Amino acid sequence: MTRVHDMGGRFGDGPVQPAAGDAPVFAEEWHGRALAVTLAAGALGQWTLDRSRFARECLAPADYLAFSYYEKWLAGLADLLVAQGVVTRDELAGAEAAPSPLAERRLRAESVAGALARGGPVLREGPAPRFGPGDRVRTRRPARNLAVTGGHTRLPGYAAGLTGVVERAHGCHVFPDTNAHGLGEQAEPLYTVVFDAAEVWGAAEAPGDTVSCDLWESYLEPET
Amino acid sequence: MPHDHADDAPPHSLLPPDPALRVKALESLLTRKGLIDPAALDEIIEIYAHKVGPRNGAAVVARAWTDPDFRKRLLEDATEAVAEMGFTGRQGEHVVAVENTPEQHNMVVCTLCSCYPWPLLGIPPGWYKSDAYRARAVREPRKVLAEFGVTLPEAQRVRVWDSTAEVRYLVLPMRPVGTDGLDESALAALVSRDAMIGTALVEAPA
């Protein structure tokens, strides 16, 4: 049911390679450029953050695994630009570029600092929460988007079908499963749900270790 | 072959194979279409390469260690508390601070992508975005911590926070013993980026 990005718990990846704290932020010059062109294109307002995550998740598994981090960003961006009609396939392939009606929306250098400092809050008015701290809940299984087959969801596969405890309610947040697909924000209560590592993985590294996810209300059912 | 017809090939496959040239091609196309201002890209890079980074988070931690009222506000509503210090914005719209204690060590991951508190820690390091960290941190955090040289007592629980929504987590590390005489800026200098992700501890100066 899942896509290639949903890798929490997977075996076989080998050791993590820590980096020195003073390593450059962008290991290659093009990394910074890839980040910046992605943010600037996003500022045109032709897609949501959820949609852009979905674009990266839709990369073919072979590409996703072969691409470095910023290559995934670039591929996702190129695919989004065409999918949203901002550029054409021919333009991407090198044909003469036609001027865009979106040009007046382009992010200007003098607006960058303000736009980054504002960000894009996702807290919204919405329904009263069904659950509160201490409530036991069960997560949906399988982890999937109910509105769009193979669509975006933020319930990781490893956290599907588990019993957990609500630790904190965060108010209503924009719902990625709809917002990624042009189906509206449909804000829902969001909760931090805590799972016993022994239940998630069959055995914990040490007793009492836990994992938590931030999960939308429709991912959850009451557990009695 | 994955695709029978060239028209089925994903758009990204139309770009040059070399990633640096791929960025150039996209930037050049979007510039010619009037959709991006290359000077805006320079400004974004300047901000994240030099202005917004883990020194912000370290200042928050040091203040929490020295100002009990601030610590209380930080743990109750970190978004508000860090905004007081001017740390707001993209990928830090909703912040929660989680405090390490002798009973619980906290560690942050994003298994689904690379969510990270940009206004406090900047752009995430490569290892945070790596498949190995994303796949393993949730299942075997203690083994991953050992790869960072950190060994915790078995009696100290480990909580892994998977950042699956737009809430961004800052780990508030334990203040090391023997630092009573240090002021806020000296304390901040002890706090590493990794300590605020939860893959390092803060040590007193030797």
Both structure tokens of B74: 């930080």
**B83 and B158 share one domain:** yes
Q: What residues pair up with A213 in beta bridges, in sequence order? A: A193, B162
Residue predicted with more confidence, A22 or A11: A11
Task: Give the tens place of pLDDT for each residue, B13-29.
Answer: 999 999 999 999 999 99
Number of domains observed in the structure of chain B: 2
Residues of chain A with CATH 1.10.472.20: 29-118
Residues B112 and B137 in one domain: yes
Tokens describing residue B93: 């719209």
Q: Quick one: what percent of chain B has pLDDT higher than 90? A: 95
Which residues of chain B make contact with A174, given a CB cutoff of 8 A? 166
The answer to whether the Cβ–Cβ distance between B30 and A87 falls below 8 Å is yes
- The reported pLDDT for the residue numbered B206 is 80
Q: Which of A98, A116, A215 sits opposite B33 (nearest CB)?
A: A98
In contact, B138 and A211? CB cutoff 8 Å: yes
Among A2-6, B36-40, B106-110, B123-127, the range scoring the smallest mean pLDDT is A2-6
In a domain, B146, yes or no: yes
Return d(Cα B56, Cα A43) in angstroms, integer: 25
Mutate: best of B131, B133, B142, partner A, most A CBs <10 A: B131
d(CA A114, CA A128): 33
Q: Which CATH architecture has domain A124-222?
A: Roll (2.30)
Q: Quick one: pLDDT at residue B6? A: 64
Chain B residues touching A25 at Cβ < 8 A: 48-49, 53, 122-123
Q: Do the domain assignments include residue B10?
A: no
Residue length, chain B? 206
What's chain A's Rg over C-alpha atoms?
A: 20
| Cross-chain CB nearest to B53 (options A25, A106, A176) | A25
- Please measure the distance between the N-terminal and C-terminal CA atoms of chain B and give it in whole angstroms: 59
Please judge whether B91 and A119 are an interchain contact, meaning their C-beta atoms are less than 8 angstroms apart.
yes
Among B21, B27, B28, B36, the residue to mutate for chain A (most A Cβ within 10 A): B36
Question: Is residue B4 predicted with pLDDT exceeding 50?
Answer: no
| Residue from B5, B129, B160, B164 to probe the interface with A (highest A Cβ count within 10 Å) | B164
Q: Tell me which of B29, B49, B69 is where a domain ends.
A: B49
Q: Does residue B38 share a domain with residue B136? A: no
Q: Indicate whether B5 pLDDT > 50.
A: no
> Which chain B residues touch A214 with a CB distance below 8 Å?
162-165, 167
Tell me whether strands A163-173 and A188-196 are parallel, antiparallel or unpaired.
antiparallel
Instruction: Tell me: do B33 and B115 sit in the same domain.
Output: no
Question: Burial, A11: exposed, middle or buried (Cβ in 10 Å; 0-12, 13-18, 19+)?
Answer: exposed
Whether B96 and chain A come into contact, CB under 8 Å, resolves to yes
In this structure, are B163 and B138 located in the same domain?
yes
Question: What confidence tens digit (pLDDT) does each residue in A121-148 have?
Answer: 999 999 999 999 999 999 999 999 999 9
Does B79 reside within a domain?
A: yes
B177–chain A nearest CA distance, Å:
23
The predicted pLDDT at position A224 comes to 81
Residues of chain A with CATH 2.30.30.50: 124-222
pLDDT in tens, A54-108: 999 999 999 999 999 999 999 999 999 999 999 999 999 999 999 999 999 999 9
- The answer to whether residue B45 is domain-embedded is yes
DSSP string, chain A: ---TT--TT-S---------TTS-SSSSHHHHHHHHHHHHHHTT-SS-HHHHHHHHHTS-HHHHHHS-HHHHHHHHHHHHHHHTTSS-HHHHTTPPPPP-TTGGGPPPHHHHHHHHHH----EE--PPPS--TT-EEEE-SS---SSSTT----S-GGGTT-EEEEEEEEEEE--HHHHTTTS----EEEEEEEEEHHHHHSS-SSTT-EEEEEEEGGGEEE--
Whether B5 maps to a domain, the answer reads no
Beta bridge partners of A67: none
CB within 8 Å: B112 and A24: no
Q: Which residues in chain B are closer than 8 Å to A117, comparing Cβ atoms?
A: 88-90, 119
Shortest Cα distance, chain A CAs vs residue B53, angstroms: 9
Mean pLDDT computed over every residue of chain A: 96
Asked if A60 and A68 touch (Cβ cutoff 8 Å), the reply is: no
My answer on whether B135 and B148 are in the same domain is: yes
The answer to the question of residue B206 being in a domain is: no
- Name the residues of B annotated as catalytic: 110, 113-115
User: If pLDDT is split at 50, 70 and 90, which confidence band does B137 have?
Assistant: very high
Closest CA to A156 of A211, A75, A222, A76: A211
Whether residue B1 has pLDDT greater than 60: no
Is the CATH number of domain A29-118 1.10.472.20?
yes
Identify all chain B residues contacting A81, using CB atoms and an 8 Å cutoff.
11, 26, 30
Q: Which residues contact A81 (CB under 8 A, 6 or more apart)?
A: A41, A87, A92, B11, B26, B30
- Provide the domain limits for residue B29: 17-49
Q: Which pLDDT value is given to residue A20?
A: 82
Mean pLDDT of A204-218: 98
Same domain, B23 and B111: no
Residues B118 and B158 in one domain: yes
Interface of B with A in 12-41 (CB under 8 A): 12, 14-15, 19-20, 22-27, 29-30, 32-37, 39-41
